[in-house]
Amino acid sequence: MQELTDLALGSGQPAYRGQQLFDAVYRQKIERLDQVSTLPLEYRARLVEQGWEVGLPRIARKFISNDGTVRYLVELADGETVETVWMPEGDGGESGDGSEAGDEIDARIDAERVSWRRATICVSSQVGCAVNCKFCFTALLGVKRNLESGEIVGQIAAVLREQGVEPPLQRVNIVFMGMGEPFLNYDNFMKSVRLLAEGVGIPESRMTVSTAGIVPRIHDFGQEPLRPKLAISLNGSNDALRTEVMPLNRKWNLEELMKAAREFPLRARERLTFEYVLLADVNDAPEQAREVVELVRGIRAKINLIALNPGTELPYRTPEQERVMAFQRILVAAGIPTFVRRPRGRDIFAACGQLKRTVEVAPTSDSKSTLSS
């Protein structure tokens, strides 16, 4: 925003032209500079002459799941692609976080216009990922590059335009849980948070960022005046197990991670989320649930359990439902709010960890996909 204001001032225009440009791109979601009707024609022409370009990333493909989830393949200016997921009924892990409070009102407002009450957009922060978690598909891609803040916001703006949704009128949650590790692209991630809050009209209280456990950034994040909620991918109940599934645990082990979590300054009524991907016969035993209880003791936390979304290239299996429930019961009995996350868009490879560019197995048109996993 400040940058656009500076741009306007720098070319002898009043400061409010910056705001007009911003609104045109992020609120009206225009595609070309000459469409910014609030700007004088000559200024539009001058910006174009100077080589400025605006617009949103292009939605190259979309896949619609039978549960309503839509996976978008979003193409960036340099031709790289990332994935952005639209989940019409939410469940970016927000159950139990208190964000249901306004639902009744939202439902009344929304009922007249749309069929969903609480949509969640899952957004990518990098092209690929460098973290190398053994159960995650994105890891198989390696990391290509960081996304710019405008590319992070652009994914969201492109999906909002596609869905015909306008925050803050309609309620949208954002989860930074797509491809990439947001805390390894920290500055651009935080900048996108500010753009979304100030420009697009999505308050940071409706955003959650998930980290694999980049400890120094967890500390920095706690100091941010304006920040989303924090989720930490735990996935192992002791160091041996966590290192096996998340090699980054060698760099920042559970002691350091849990210390950062304990010191994290939570706001009133806020809870820290721990995500735990259950891998059959690897980390899903009752004994491991009890270890998790000890780990999070003293932290105002909630736990999201995610049964592995299976994939052929991964050496793990999805646990039986009963095993998942047993794990949950132990945590709940210890007083920890624990939720089992519903898998979303499994049939289109849109579920967590599946955001790999599976174009080779996907249909070539923009039509509905009925791929089975």
Task: Please compute Rg for the chain using Cα positions.
Answer: 21
Contact 127, 238 (CB under 8 A): no
Q: Is 275 in the site for ligand SAH (CB under 6 A)?
A: yes
Q: Are 186 and 155 in contact (CB under 8 A)?
A: no
What span, in angstroms and rounded, lies between the C-alpha atoms of 178 and 182?
9
Q: How many residues bind ligand SAH (CB under 6 A)?
A: 16
Q: Which of 152, 158, 159, 177 binds ligand SAH (CB under 6 A)?
A: 177
Is residue 211 a contact residue for ligand SAH (CB under 6 A)?
Answer: yes
Per CB under 6 A, the list member of 65, 210, 328, 369 interacting with ligand SAH is 210
| Subset of residues 283 to 312 that bind ligand SAH, contact rule: CB under 6 A | 306, 308-309
Phi/psi at 80 (nearest 5 deg)? -70, 155
Selected binder of ligand SAH within 56, 119, 260, 277 (CB under 6 A): 277
CB 24 within 8 A of CB 125: no
CA 356 to chain centre: 15
Based on CB atoms, which residue is closest to ligand SAH, 203 or 310?
Answer: 310
Find out whether 47 and 35 touch, Cβ atoms under 8 Å: no
Residues marked as catalytic: 83, 352
Minimum CB separation from ligand SAH for residue 37, in Å? Answer: 39
The distance of closest approach from Cβ of residue 198 to ligand SAH in the complex, given in angstroms and rounded to an integer, is 24
DSSP sequence for 45-66: HHHHHTT----PPEEEEEEE-T
Which residue lies nearer to ligand SAH by CB, 4 or 308? 308
Among 82, 136, 158, 260, binds ligand SAH (CB under 6 A): 136
Q: Which one of 94, 110, 181, 204 is in contact with ligand SAH (CB under 6 A)?
A: 181
355 Cβ contact list (under 8 Å, min separation 6): 71, 83, 85, 124, 137, 138, 178, 179, 349
| Residue numbers at the binding site for ligand SAH (CB under 6 A) | 135-136, 177, 181, 210-212, 233, 235, 275, 277, 306, 308-309, 352-353
